């Protein structure tokens, strides 16, 4: 493993040279890629330097233990060796994680799609609650959230809500949120205090860049119509809503949240491009496709990755048997205690493959 980091100083120096190269600076796309790679290599460099420093201190302490005769000093050295050994093991594990094959989508922005499954209005209300949770988490991460499309039901809930989340490492942190989310709580309209169970589905789709997917104009059909609100109430007197159909695949995307037809068209194209690239990747990788199908499911209560139990203040992630009794904090966007253990779990599984 260590041989792969021996030239890390040279690699970092090369990237710093590129960042000051006028030709690279003039090409924003190339500059962005170099800057991201520089950030990644800088983290590895910092980690590797600390690992080597700790290893040196550990070697020195072990050598000292061999010659030290004072018993009190020996106990202090033993304690220091224990601490340094633990730190060395932690750093070595972190370095192994850095060597894992990089998911090409990790740096991408995402489309977050939340849809009501079983549970009627209560499921639609939970769509709104989950969107608020993810939005607050995004705000804490310094990300930007923009609603691309929504289908409100009029009582504060949504049958469907699609949002673009942009920022640093969005997909890498949220990619394991795809799946069926179950909620157990007493609805406000429930007079006898009975707990209802509802479900929504979450899909996390990496944003597709234009260079990744070349859409031919004759493959798309555009329709415009008047936007409407819940119950069919007209909310716009012009044909500003846009529906795009990808003729070869039959995929349909509708956007009507903006008053401008141009803005709705741009948003719909962004959603369409991401869905098509996602569909192509699924077809090219049968294993990924099967995994995604099992994650997202149909919104049925039995197909769940996570349960939010409001009467008990409990959240359970069924994939890693994680149970936390701080549901109120989680719904306020404090999701690190949920997301980080899941990422760690899948990293540990991947490490088993390369050891």
Q: What pLDDT digit, counting tens, does each position of 100-134 carry?
A: 777 888 888 999 999 999 888 899 999 999 999 99
Mean pLDDT over residues 220-228, rounded? Answer: 80
3-class SS at 300? coil
Angstrom distance (rounded) from CA 92 to CA 63: 21
Residue with the bigger pLDDT between 8 and 178: it is 178
Asked if 316 contacts 189 with a C-beta cutoff of 8 angstroms, the reply is: no
231: confidence class by pLDDT, cuts 50, 70, 90: very low
Angstrom distance (rounded) from CA 272 to CA 346: 29
Among the ranges 2-6, 76-80, 133-137, 261-265, which has the highest mean pLDDT value?
Answer: 133-137
Asked if 154 contacts 230 with a C-beta cutoff of 8 angstroms, the reply is: yes
Question: Any bridge partners for residue 323, and if so which?
Answer: 316
Q: What pLDDT digit, counting tens, does each position of 68-80 carry?
A: 888 899 999 999 9
Could you tell me where the DSSP H helices lie in 154-285?
170-174, 261-284
- Helix 71-98 with 336-354: angle, nearest 10 deg: 80
298: confidence class by pLDDT, cuts 50, 70, 90: very low
Q: Is 221 exposed, middle or buried, given 0-12, 13-18 or 19+ CB atoms closer than 10 A?
A: exposed
Least confident interval from 90-94, 100-104, 176-180, 316-320: 100-104
Q: Give CA torsion, residues 322, 326, 330, 331, to 10 deg.
A: 120
Residue with the bigger pLDDT between 45 and 290: it is 45
300: confidence class by pLDDT, cuts 50, 70, 90: very low
């Amino acid at each position: 493993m260590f041989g792969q980091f021996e030239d890390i100083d040279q690699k970092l120096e090369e990237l710093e040279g590129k960042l000051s190269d006028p030709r690279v600076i003039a090409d924003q796309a190339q500059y962005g890629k170099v800057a991201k790679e520089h950030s990644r290599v800088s983290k590895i460099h910092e980690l590797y330097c600390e690992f080597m420093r700790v290893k040196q201190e550990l070697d020195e302490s072990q050598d000292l233990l061999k010659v030290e005769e004072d018993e009190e000093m020996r106990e202090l050295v033993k304690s220091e060796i224990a601490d340094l050994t633990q730190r060395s093991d932690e750093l070595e594990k972190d370095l192994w994680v850095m060597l894992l094959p990089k998911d090409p989508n990790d740096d991408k922005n995402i489309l977050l799609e939340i849809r009501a499954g079983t549970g009627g209005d209560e499921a639609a209300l939970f769509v709104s609650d989950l969107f608020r949770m993810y939005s607050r988490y995004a705000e804490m991460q310094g990300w930007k959230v923009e609603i691309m499309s929504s289908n409100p039901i009029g009582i504060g809930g949504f049958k469907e809500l699609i949002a673009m989340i942009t920022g640093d490492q969005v997909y890498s942190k949220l990619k394991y949120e795809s799946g069926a989310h179950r909620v157990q709580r007493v609805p406000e309209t429930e007079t006898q205090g009975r707990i209802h169970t509802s479900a929504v589905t979450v899909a996390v789709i990496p944003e597709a860049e234009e260079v990744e997917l070349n859409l031919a104009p004759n493959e798309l059909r555009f329709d415009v119509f008047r936007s409407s609100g819940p119950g069919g109430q007209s909310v716009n007197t012009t044909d500003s809503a846009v529906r795009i159909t990808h003729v070869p695949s039959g995929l349909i995307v509708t956007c009507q949240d903006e008053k401008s037809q141009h803005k709705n068209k741009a948003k719909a194209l962004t959603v369409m491009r991401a869905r098509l690239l996602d569909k192509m990747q699924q077809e090219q990788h049968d294993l990924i496709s099967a995994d995604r199908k099992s994650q997202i499911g149909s919104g049925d209560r039995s197909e769940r990755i996570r349960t939010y139990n409001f009467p008990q203040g409990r959240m359970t992630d069924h994939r890693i048997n994680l149970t936390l009794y701080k549901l109120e904090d989680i719904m306020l966007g404090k999701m690190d205690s949920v997301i980080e253990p899941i990422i760690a779990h899948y990293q540990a599984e991947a490490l088993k493959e390369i050891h």
